């Protein structure tokens, strides 16, 4: 039975990283260890693979299939697995969806096709056709990845409502609208529909504020480093315990500032470096065009980890 058939797709859902060898091939053993480290955290609702955090843009179909397979082998008995669907073509996306269902995924995170960035917001029928093509290929619940409108890939609010009405297998959105007013509108509207749609925030740069608006979950690459803090913050906000939430957020803040500073594309690169500094990963290798961070930025990440009280006892926080 699907993990989300009879319960909401909500709560704390980390998006995991992908460990690589120096020759850029997948380091399966290190990736499995990372999956175990994350999945062992109490209080998670699921774990995401083949997302932005795992550099899905640089992984071919066979690699994505293998990543999902070994992820299920490693933690599938402990956590539901959400698989990303990253493809520009609708039929390619449907192929990934079928693969993920066959392998044993519990839900799908559907990225917007980059091909829609040049005016697709003016053609809502394109988004509808894309999601219907995927929905026809699988019975798995779908998560709509809502991008910022300014980049051309976000779904206008009315288009989003049509998607939710016409594609009943959509159960949640991963909201990266990067617009506080729109974010709150989506939370208030979508979670109050006759068929409630969970808003999974991915505004990790301002997570506490987002959760205080009422989002019923979060799906975030930062969960690859701080899943325990995300669980604690989510629980504190839901309990209405403002002092506890503020105290947890004080620890998250330095890392959010470090992860999401420009250039934004290095956020998961930085998370890998943090796992190395924490002794959870042997090396931080990213696939081109991403590039290794400089020593100065890595030193800054060490200071952020120290400020977040995450470095091992006795570790030197200075350069």
pLDDT of 202 higher than 70: yes
The total of structural domains in the chain comes to 1
Residue 153 lies in a domain: yes
pLDDT attached to residue 3 = 83
pTM score, whole prediction: 0.96
pLDDT of 317 higher than 50: no
Produce one character per residue of 218-242: b if its CB has 16 or more CB atoms within 10 Å, e if not.
bbbbbbbbbbbbbbbbbbbbeeeee
Residue 262 lies in a domain: no
pLDDT attached to residue 158 = 97
pLDDT, tens digit (0-9, with 9 covering 90-100), for 246-270: 999 999 999 999 999 999 999 999 9
In terms of Cα–Cα distance, which of 138, 129, 137 is closest to 106?
A: 138
CA atoms within 13 Å, Cβ hemisphere of 313: 0
Residue 140 lies in a domain: yes
- The domain that contains 170 carries what CATH number? 3.20.20.70
pLDDT of 286 higher than 80: yes
pLDDT, tens digit (0-9, with 9 covering 90-100), for 31-55: 999 999 999 999 999 999 999 999 9
pLDDT, tens digit (0-9, with 9 covering 90-100), for 147-177: 999 999 999 999 999 999 999 999 999 999 9
* Segments of the chain assigned E as strands: 11-14, 47-49, 81-85, 107-110, 142-146, 170-175, 198-201, 217-220
Residue 257 lies in a domain: no
Write out the residue range of the structural domain in which residue 158 sits: 11-245
Q: Which helix (H) or strand (E) holds 300?
A: helix 295-307
Asked whether 179 and 148 are in contact (CB, 8 A), the reply is yes
Residue 239 lies in a domain: yes
pLDDT of 318 higher than 50: no
pLDDT of 112 higher than 90: yes
Distance CA 145, CA 127 (A): 12
């Amino acid at each position: 039975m699907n993990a989300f058939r009879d319960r909401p797709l909500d709560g704390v859902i980390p998006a995991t990283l992908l460990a690589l060898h120096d020759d850029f091939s997948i380091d399966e053993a290190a990736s499995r260890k990372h999956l175990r480290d994350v999945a062992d955290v109490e209080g998670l609702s699921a774990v995401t693979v083949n997302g932005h955090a795992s550099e899905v843009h640089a992984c071919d179909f066979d690699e994505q299939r293998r990543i999902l397979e070994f992820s299920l082998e490693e933690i599938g008995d402990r956590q539901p697995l959400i698989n990303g669907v990253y493809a520009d073509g609708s039929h390619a996306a449907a192929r990934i969806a079928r693969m993920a269902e066959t392998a044993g995924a519990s839900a799908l995170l559907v990225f917007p096709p980059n091909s829609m960035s040049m005016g697709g917001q003016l053609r809502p029928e394109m988004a509808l056709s894309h999601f219907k093509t995927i929905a026809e290929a699988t019975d798995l619940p779908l998560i709509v990845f809502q991008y910022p409108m300014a980049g051309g890939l976000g779904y206008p609010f009315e288009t989003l409502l049509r998607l939710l009405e016409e594609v009943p297998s959509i159960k949640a959105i991963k909201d990266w609208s990067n617009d506080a007013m729109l974010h709150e509108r989506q939370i208030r509207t979508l979670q109050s529909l006759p068929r409630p749609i969970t808003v999974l925030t991915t505004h990790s740069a301002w997570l506490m504020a987002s959760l205080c608006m009422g989002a019923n979950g979060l799906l975030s690459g930062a969960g690859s480093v701080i899943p325990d803090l995300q669980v604690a913050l989510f629980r504190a906000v839901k309990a209405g315990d403002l002092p506890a939430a503020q105290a947890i957020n004080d620890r998250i803040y330095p890392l959010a500032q470090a992860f999401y500073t420009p250039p934004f594309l290095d956020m998961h690169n930085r998370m890998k470096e943090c796992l190395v500094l924490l002794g959870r990963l042997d090396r931080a290798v990213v696939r081109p065009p991403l590039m290794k961070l400089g020593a100065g930025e890595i030193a800054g990440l060490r200071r952020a980890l120290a400020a977040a009280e995450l470095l091992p006892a006795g570790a030197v926080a200075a350069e």
